[in-house]
Structure 1
Amino acid sequence: MKKMLLLLLTIGLLQGCTSGTDSPSTPTEQQKPPVAAKPETPASEPPITTQPPTTPEKPLTEQPAQQETVYANDIFRNVTVKKTGQDTFEIKGQARVFEAVLNYVVEDGHNELTQGFVQATTAAPDWGDFTHTLKVKKAEPNSTLTLILFETSMKDGSRRMELIIPLPE
């Protein structure tokens, strides 16, 4: 009796696994394959996923005529840095920061050489313009200076949304 029950269960299981694969009957409306639909995007347009993603700390665009690199992230955009003198740099851009205050630090990889803040024209959620002339001298002649723009967290005083920009030589 047990052998018969086991045999019937096995046959039922196998029949359930194979049903619908070689069915001689015509498919019902629910089993018919869907009619091929036209693609929503034209074939001439590449899919959105083929575009490389931008990272916040990488330059978004480079203007070959002026050799200025534009930097951006979620709270900074159109940020450019131009060397105007021996140890002088001009920083321009737009920021969307709390109470229109953006902070900066210049470091050489080991030490913070200068720090401060800049007032933008408008506070978040709007974009405010800012311009600042920065004067900083290298501590070591072979070092590379890096400007870090950020917003200070009102919650704990930490740096939020840092934008790291290498200063031009």
Structure 2
Amino acid sequence: MKLSNLFMLCIIVILGVIAYSLGVRVHVDVNQKPSVTEHEASKPPKSVPSKPSGETTNPPEETPKPPKESEQKVYQNNSFKNVVLSEKDDKIIVKGQARVFEGVFQYAVTSGNKTILQDHYQTEGAPTWGDFEISFDQSLVEKTGETFELFVYSAKDGSKADVLTIPLK
């Protein structure tokens, strides 16, 4: 074994021992990104509100807050995340992040089977999530049912892959 490999192995073991002693557990699921959890013992205890003697009350139930109308819907899939639409000065703006091969992906505005606009965009390449911002005229979007698509072409057969479809109206 090379000395550098032995050194790296020692560092990994030391970091593992430190993480274990701090109560950090890393769980890796094949279908998801790693998640980090702590020991129950290392979490502070939940405080229970005190009540006057003889009074029995149930703890207050947390009611989910309704979404605000001003909140934007966020779209994502394996290749695109944090994708949001906004409108400004007669333009539709699509912002988000992409993690695609060599940072190149395609986008299209479609109406049924008809493609109204199609182009490509380049950002940082995988494994990095690269930011993007695409804008186009609102005048392209006239009918209900028109969509904006983000996608990559498959290296295997040239078909669309990882298509993220966003309704425009």
In the alignment, does 2:76 pair up with 1:72?
yes
* TM-score normalised by structure 1 residue count: 0.55
Residue 93 of structure 1 corresponds to which residue in structure 2?
96
Residue 123 of structure 1 corresponds to which residue in structure 2?
125
Number of paired residues?
Answer: 107
CA drift of 1:157 comes to 1.4
Unaligned runs of 5+ in 2: 1-39, 41-65
Q: Compared with structure 1, are the counterparts of its residues 117 and 136 closer, same or farther at alpha carbon in structure 2 (3 Å cutoff)?
A: farther
Q: Which has the larger radius of gyration?
A: 1
Q: Compared with structure 1, are the counterparts of its residues 63 and 80 closer, same or farther at alpha carbon in structure 2 (3 Å cutoff)?
A: farther
Residue 148 of structure 1 corresponds to which residue in structure 2?
149
Paired with 2:118 and 2:130, the residues of 1 have a C-alpha distance of 21
Q: How do 1:131-146 and structure 2 match up within 5 A?
A: 131-135=133-137, 137-138=139-140, 141-146=142-147
Give the fraction of aligned pairs with identical amino acids, expressed as a percent: 36
* TM-score normalised by structure 2 residue count: 0.55
Q: How do 1:22-61 and structure 2 match up within 5 A?
A: none
The residue matched to 1:71 in structure 2 has which SS?
coil
Q: Compared with structure 1, are the counterparts of its residues 101 and 83 closer, same or farther at alpha carbon in structure 2 (3 Å cutoff)?
A: same
The residue matched to 2:139 in structure 1 has which SS?
coil
Contact 1:113–1:136 (CA<8 Å) still a contact in 2?
no
Unaligned runs of 5+ in 1: 1-40, 42-61
Q: Compared with structure 1, are the counterparts of its residues 129 and 63 closer, same or farther at alpha carbon in structure 2 (3 Å cutoff)?
A: farther
CA drift of 1:144 comes to 2.7
Structural RMSD (CA): 2.7
In the alignment, does 2:121 pair up with 1:113?
no
CA drift of 1:64 comes to 2.3
Structure 1 runs (4+) deviating above 6 angstroms are none
Residue 102 of structure 1 corresponds to which residue in structure 2?
105
Structure number with greater CO (CA < 8 Å, separation at least 6) is 1
The residue matched to 1:133 in structure 2 has which SS?
strand
Contact 1:108–1:138 (CA<8 Å) still a contact in 2?
no
